[in-house]
């Protein structure tokens, strides 16, 4: 395994005070191990405040160069910070070491109070990664084969109403076959890793991350017959408005949003050439995490 020399640190947006003690310690710790430390150029002013103006031996790179120039990326924030880094992968990411600075942090593997030992092992090459593929979202109009929008998601894509207090009607298809017409507040298309996010809150199933699937979870369906549906992740999912006067929103991972109209068609496919590698915490298992974060199955039998 190649030496992990260039270490990039990505911070949760806007936060300053919560980084004032941990971040200078982390940078010094890495520098003592002869590592080159990078931050994003867009965070330079904030890093300046956190380090009290002492930016000696720190380097700054453009966000577009993050995956290309890094041997290891450390994200410090929550799941949103980690997901944002993953969505911007070019082809295959370097190992990504997620540190949870908050409370929930389901896919950020390491707690802020105890990550240094595991980071030491990672720098020595003693680590394993979990591999995930991104999902590709394209928007076409009925009059054009050229996409008007392209994006990616790791967790989920959400199609919901663009108008207050009005029901949205969608047509959902897969592999050329009509699945259903859905009337309600919208639809969540989630990956297994995203099944414990918005989809779960809307009544969708918890899907183990090693299952190759996509889950279609209706949001407040205006019917007793529309249930969450699990389909193979190599399926092409097509979503479009069922009525000519519809407008709706498409949101990717809760971070990127586009407004669409009745002539727009959303196509979702698995992107096999967009791969992320998340460093695994050897002290943590999936089912243990479910119990800790969501008290899933934690009730004792007496």
pLDDT value at position 298? 52
How confident is the prediction along the chain (302 residues), in pLDDT tens digits per residue? 568 999 999 999 988 998 998 999 999 999 999 999 999 999 999 999 999 988 889 999 999 999 999 999 999 999 999 999 999 999 999 999 999 987 777 889 898 888 999 999 999 999 999 999 999 999 999 878 899 999 999 999 999 987 766 789 999 999 999 999 999 999 999 999 999 999 999 999 999 999 999 999 999 998 878 899 999 999 999 999 988 888 899 999 999 999 999 999 999 999 999 999 999 999 888 888 888 877 655 555 55
Q: Residue 226: its pLDDT value, please?
A: 87
Which positions are catalytic? 79
In a domain, 76, yes or no: yes
Structural domain that includes position 146: 135-271
- 34/15 same-domain check: yes
- Do 227 and 145 lie in a common domain? yes
Answer for the pair 96, 82: CB distance below 8 angstroms, yes or no. yes
Distance from C-alpha of 19 to C-alpha of 230, rounded to nearest angstrom: 40
Judge whether 160 and 239 are in contact, CB under 8 Å: no
Whether residue 210 is contained in a domain is answered as yes
CATH code (residue 124): 3.40.50.10330
Q: Residue 146 corresponds to which tokens in the numbers above?
A: 């050229």
| Token code pair at residue 126 | 């003693």
Sign of the four-CA dihedral 27, 31, 32, 33: positive
Structure tokens of 141?
A: 């109009």
Residue 175 forms part of a structural domain: yes
Nearest CA to 279 among 111, 112, 122? 122
Do 83 and 180 share a domain, yes or no? no
How far apart CA 58 and CA 28 sit, in angstroms, is 10
Claim to verify: residue 141 and residue 248 sit in the same structural domain = yes
Whether residue 301 is contained in a domain is answered as no
Task: Let me know whether 104 and 87 are in one domain.
Answer: yes
Total domains present in the chain:
2
Tokens in use for 249? Answer: 């929103």
Indicate whether 30 belongs to any domain. Answer: yes
Q: Examine the domain organization and report whether 155 and 53 are in the same domain.
A: no
Whether residue 78 sits in one domain with residue 122 = yes
Distance in angstroms (rounded) separating the CA atoms of residues 50 and 59: 15
**Is 1 within a domain?**
no
pLDDT at residue number 291: 84
Tell me, yes or no, whether 160 and 250 share the same domain: yes
Question: What pLDDT is stored for residue 53 in this prediction?
Answer: 86
Q: Reduce the DSSP state of residue 229 to 3 states and report it.
A: strand
Does residue 121 sit in the same domain as residue 56?
Answer: yes
Q: Are residues 196 and 219 in the same domain?
A: yes
Looking at the structure, do residues 119 and 240 belong to the same domain, yes or no?
no
Residues 159 and 210 in one domain: yes
Q: Which helix (H) or strand (E) holds 22?
A: helix 22-32
């Amino acid at each position: 395994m190649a030496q992990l020399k260039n270490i990039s640190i990505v911070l949760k947006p806007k936060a300053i005070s919560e980084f004032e003690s941990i971040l200078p310690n982390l940078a010094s710790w890495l520098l003592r191990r002869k590592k080159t430390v990078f931050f994003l150029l867009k965070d330079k002013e904030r890093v300046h405040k956190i380090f009290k103006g002492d930016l000696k031996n720190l380097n700054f790179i453009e966000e577009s160069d993050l995956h290309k120039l890094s041997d290891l990326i450390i994200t410090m924030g929550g799941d949103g910070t980690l997901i944002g880094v993953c969505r911007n992968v070019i082809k295959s990411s370097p190992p990504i070491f997620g540190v949870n600075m908050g409370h929930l942090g389901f896919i950020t593997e390491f707690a802020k109070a105890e990550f240094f030992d595991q980071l030491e092992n990672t720098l020595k090459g003693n680590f394993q990664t979990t591999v995930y593929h991104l999902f590709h979202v394209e928007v076409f109009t009925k009059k054009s084969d050229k996409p008007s929008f392209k994006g990616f998601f790791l967790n989920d894509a959400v199609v919901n109403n663009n108008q207050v207090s009005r029901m949205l009607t969608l047509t959902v298809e897969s592999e050329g076959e009509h699945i259903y017409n859905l009337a309600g507040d919208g639809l969540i298309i989630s990956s297994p890793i995203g099944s414990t996010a918005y989809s779960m809150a809307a009544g969708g199933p918890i899907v183990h991350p090693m299952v190759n699937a996509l889950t279609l979870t209706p949001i407040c369906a205006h019917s007793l017959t529309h249930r969450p549906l699990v389909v193979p992740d190599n399926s092409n999912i097509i979503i479009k408005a069922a009525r000519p006067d519809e407008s709706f929103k498409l949101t990717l991972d809760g971070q990127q949003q586009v407004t669409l109209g009745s002539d727009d068609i959303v196509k979702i496919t698995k992107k096999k050439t967009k791969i992320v590698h998340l460093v695994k915490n050897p002290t943590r298992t999936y089912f243990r995490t479910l119990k800790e974060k969501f008290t899933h199955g934690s009730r004792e039998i007496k």
